């Protein structure tokens, strides 16, 4: 895990962007409907405790001694997520998005930066787009992945912790993509991109190819680079006015190493402000992939995550109980004697504010 460096540069950069934002807002015609500039974002913070595992932090490794093998929301005790500021500007045919992140969750998401820029690890997304035709849009720059059911920002997910499938798929891409509306419900996306998560530049001279075929909220996603490939399905269905079922299945293979898994996301809306959701996930390593932390080949894990959600205006409170169970003892699931075990249960209480 990398630490944020050169924080003064980050402060100067953010101040500069906010100054541009302020100038642009008050210099444009307030009656214009074609020019829209906005500042949105979120902050999140949480408390986390293992119920049957160690709750200390290993300063030598920079990781907690016991936590799920998935990304984010794994720090012990009272902990920070991230502050997220998104500056966007939209006109009839062109626009841009500048998405900045600060804090542990942002650092983990932009783990492959900085390579060149001292502020590369605060840039979550940075892209411009051009609507060439009413059915064709070109996007150039750094954008979050189209693979997987979940997202980097906690506002994009019902559960606060993340799945194994999302954690070991890509987070972000930098490249050129074209979105084509084939019909009212069919959409096709094609992309050429840097190697996965290499967002600042291309260090190898090799490129990844991506595609997405979407129909009415159901998405078939493909990513291939340097002999490796991932196939991913995401989608969901409204079973009633109160019940929704989300689905995610994926297969990744890189010369015999990789993973496969499936997750379901049933959610129940009890009122306008209160809802309940479950994530049930099966995740299997292919070969000695190392994701689950057993050091053994072809290990499997089953994870159940039960999350409640209560909205108080723009603030959302999420209590969450998570149970991870692996087929072999994992160093990710250390008990209070710092010995590997097969099971880990944990509790999280998160607060997310959206602006």
pLDDT value at 142 more than 90:
yes
pLDDT digits (tens, 9 = 90+) for 82-128: 999 999 998 889 999 999 999 999 999 999 999 999 999 999 999 99
Q: Read off φ and ψ for residue 156, nearest 5 degrees.
A: -90, -10
Residue 314 belongs to a domain: yes
pLDDT value at 27 more than 70:
no
Higher-pLDDT residue of 12 and 334 is 334
| Whole-number Cα distances in Å, 16 to 12, 123, 275 | 6, 14, 40
pLDDT at res. 26 = 53
Confidence of residue 34 (pLDDT cuts 50, 70, 90): low
pLDDT value at 183 more than 90:
yes
Residue 2 belongs to a domain: no
How many Cβ atoms sit within 10 Å of the Cβ of residue 339?
11
∠ CA(148), CA(195), CA(104), 5° rounding?
60
Q: What percent of the chain has pLDDT over 90?
A: 86
For residue 101, give the nearest of 238, 4, 228 by alpha carbon. 4
Higher-pLDDT residue of 67 and 32 is 67
Average pLDDT over residues 336-341: 96
pLDDT at res. 344 = 98
The secondary structure of 182-201 as a DSSP string is -SSSEEEEEEEESSTT--S-
Average pLDDT over residues 20-42: 63
Confidence of residue 143 (pLDDT cuts 50, 70, 90): very high
pLDDT digits (tens, 9 = 90+) for 282-302: 999 999 898 899 988 999 999
Q: Is-contact 287 298, C-beta < 8 A?
A: yes
| CATH code, 224 | 2.40.160.10
Q: Is-contact 123 18, C-beta < 8 A?
A: no
pLDDT value at 29 more than 70:
no
**Domain range enclosing 181:** 7-354
pLDDT at res. 279 = 98
Q: Read off φ and ψ for residue 23, nearest 5 degrees.
A: -65, -45
Length of the chain: 355
CA pair distance 336, 324, nearest whole angstrom: 16
Residue 230 belongs to a domain: yes
The count of domains in the chain is 1
pLDDT at res. 92 = 83
Determine if residue 120 is left, alpha or beta; phi over 0 gives left, psi from -120 to 50 gives alpha, anything else beta: alpha
Q: Which residues pair with 31 in a beta bridge?
A: none
Residue 226 belongs to a domain: yes
pLDDT value at 201 more than 50:
yes
pLDDT at res. 5 = 39
Higher-pLDDT residue of 10 and 322 is 322
Residue 152 belongs to a domain: yes
- pTM reported for the whole predicted model: 0.88
pLDDT value at 19 more than 80:
no
Residue 287 belongs to a domain: yes
CA pair distance 339, 123, nearest whole angstrom: 38
Residue 175 belongs to a domain: yes
Q: Is-contact 160 200, C-beta < 8 A?
A: no
Burial class (CB in 10 A: 0-12, 13-18, 19+), 23: exposed
Average pLDDT over residues 33-57: 91
Residue 346 belongs to a domain: yes
For residue 44, give the nearest of 79, 86, 78, 81 by alpha carbon. 81
pLDDT value at 66 more than 70:
yes
pLDDT value at 36 more than 90:
no
How many Cβ atoms sit within 10 Å of the Cβ of residue 36?
12
pLDDT at res. 4 = 35
pLDDT at res. 65 = 95
Confidence of residue 35 (pLDDT cuts 50, 70, 90): low
């Amino acid at each position: 895990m990398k630490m944020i460096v050169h924080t003064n540069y980050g402060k100067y950069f953010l101040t500069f962007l906010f100054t541009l934002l302020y100038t642009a807002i008050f210099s444009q015609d307030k009656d214009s409907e074609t020019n829209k500039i906005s500042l949105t974002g979120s902050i999140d913070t949480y408390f986390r405790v293992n119920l049957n595992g160690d709750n200390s932090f290993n300063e030598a490794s920079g990781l907690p001694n016991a936590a799920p093998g998935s990304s984010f929301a794994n720090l012990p005790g009272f902990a920070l997520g991230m502050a997220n500021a998104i500056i966007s500007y939209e006109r009839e045919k062109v626009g841009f998005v500048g998405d900045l992140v600060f804090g542990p969750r942002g650092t983990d998401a932009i783990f492959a930066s900085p390579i060149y820029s001292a502020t590369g690890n605060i840039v979550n997304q940075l892209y411009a787009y051009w609507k060439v035709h009413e059915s064709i849009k070109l996007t150039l720059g750094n954008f979050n992945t189209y693979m997987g059911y979940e997202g980097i920002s906690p506002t994009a997910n019902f559960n606060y912790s993340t799945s194994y499938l999302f954690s070991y798929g890509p987070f972000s891409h930098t490249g050129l993509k074209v979105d084509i509306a084939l019909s009212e419900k069919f959409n096709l996306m094609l992309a050429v991109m840097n190697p996965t998560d290499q967002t600042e530049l291309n260090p190898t001279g090799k490129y990844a190819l991506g595609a997405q075929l979407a129909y009415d909220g159901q998405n078939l996603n493909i990513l291939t680079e340097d002999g490796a490939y991932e196939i991913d399905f995401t989608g969901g269905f409204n079973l009633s006015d109160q019940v929704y079922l989300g689905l995610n299945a994926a297969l990744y293979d890189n010369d015999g190493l990789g993973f496969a898994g499936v997750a379901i996301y049933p959610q129940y809306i009890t009122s306008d402000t209160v809802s309940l959701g479950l994530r049930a996930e099966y995740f299997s390593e292919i070969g000695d992939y190392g994701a689950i932390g057993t050091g053994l080949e072809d290990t499997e894990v089953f994870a159940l995550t039960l999350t409640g959600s209560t909205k108080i205006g723009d603030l959302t409170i999420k209590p969450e109980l998570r149970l991870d169970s692996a087929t072999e003892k994992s160093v990710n699931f250390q008990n209070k004697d710092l010995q590997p075990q097969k099971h880990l249960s944990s509790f999280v209480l998160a607060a997310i504010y959206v602006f």
